[in-house]
Amino acid sequence: MAGEIVNVTWTDIVRLVDEHPRITAGRFQIDAARGGVSAAGAVPNPTLEGTVGQGLARAGGDPRVEWGLALTMPLGWIAQRGSRVDAAEAEVDVAFGENEVLRRDVLLQLRTLFWTLASEQSRVSSLSALEAETLALVHTVRKRVEMGEARSVEAIRVEIEIEKITSELEAARTSLSARQAELALWLGDFAGKTLVAVADLDALPTPVDRDTALGKARATHPALTVARARTRVLEAEVGTERMARVPSIGLAGFTTNELDRRAYGAGLAVDLPLWSWNSGRIAQAEAKLAAGRKQAEATGLELETSVLDVQAACQASVLTATRFRNNVVPRSETAASMMEKTYHLGEASLLEVIDARRTLLDSRRLYLSALTQAQIDCSRLGALVGEDVK
């Protein structure tokens, strides 16, 4: 049994989208990246070493406990700190960009579900109206058969027709129920409720022209932000590897308490790059950077290709739906109406009436499919150019 009916607009869905689990996961990724910035800039801890032992004098005497302490402060991290922090900050930008990509993907998924639900609602409504009209025709045919104005086979034919329409209506209602449950599942907090999409499916969107779509996509699409941020990460890694050639220095202070003396002092440790000047790692980082730049270039080309494809699909779908709305469906309705009136006057056969009604049903089905496709294709375009994402 259907639960409470809840009307849902697209604005309502946009308000709820930030609670989607994929978006929530993206926010945690951003928090993790921010933590990486703090870790990259952190000062490493000093090292404290301690020794203790039993000391015995060679010339005799009582044994005594000897001990020593040494505190070492590493300084080699200073040379690489700047580039490591730059890389971590770029990773934050990557996380932000990827989260925005996720948000657009989720919004497109929900937008597709929303328009599919609206389409199923219209389909059920159209079939319900057609079922009522066909039932009226059934009663008319039965009366004509009873009055001897039509053969009994015509009643059978029209009863078969109503069975076909009823079966299609039942299938449409089942599909509608599935779409309602699917959207409710993704939105959450709607368990046991029946969602009704409040939308004007017939209000066709205005396609963005090609040049405008390309310009908006280049300026706003987060995939390009991610690609540029990844390139910055690779640039910072090259800097880190180059600074690794700087000798690592460590300062140490110590104190020892021995059997016959007590000493204090300081030490200096230097990592000498005698066997390796890090050439291999630098070459590797530079090659990765070159690959990253080409990948960013490829990302831009792929985005522009997608925009061209989706913009054409949106425009074509809108034109198709417009043609069906203005030409095909009205003519099919006129033909079906005229044929039914002619049948009542006894000037047309029942088969001609059924054929006209089937043509009308097919026209409405194709028109509804074209409307849905236009809304979905233009929603895809909107996701690419940054419209309808807030």
Transcribe 117-138 into DSSP letters.
HHHHHHHHHHHHHHHHHHHHHH
CA distance 246 to 277: 9
Do residues 176 and 120 touch, judged by C-beta distance below 8 A?
yes
pLDDT mean for each 10 residues of the chain (390 residues): 78 85 90 92 90 77 82 86 92 94 92 94 91 85 79 83 91 93 83 86 90 93 94 93 84 82 86 80 92 94 96 95 93 88 78 85 92 94 78
The confidence score (pLDDT) of residue 144 equals 79
The confidence score (pLDDT) of residue 96 equals 93
pTM metric for this prediction: 0.81
| Closest among 42, 63, 67, 35 to 53, alpha carbons compared | 67
CA distance 56 to 62: 7
386: left (phi over 0), alpha (psi -120 to 50) or beta: left
Beta strands 194-197 and 47-55 are: unpaired
* HSE-CB for 226 with a 13 A CA cutoff: 17
CA distance 360 to 167: 17
| 247, β-bridge pairs | none
The confidence score (pLDDT) of residue 1 equals 41
The confidence score (pLDDT) of residue 125 equals 92
Q: Spell out a b/e string for 218-232, using b for 16 or more CB atoms within 10 Å of the CB, else e.
A: eebbbbbbbbbbbbb
Beta strands 47-55 and 64-74 are: antiparallel
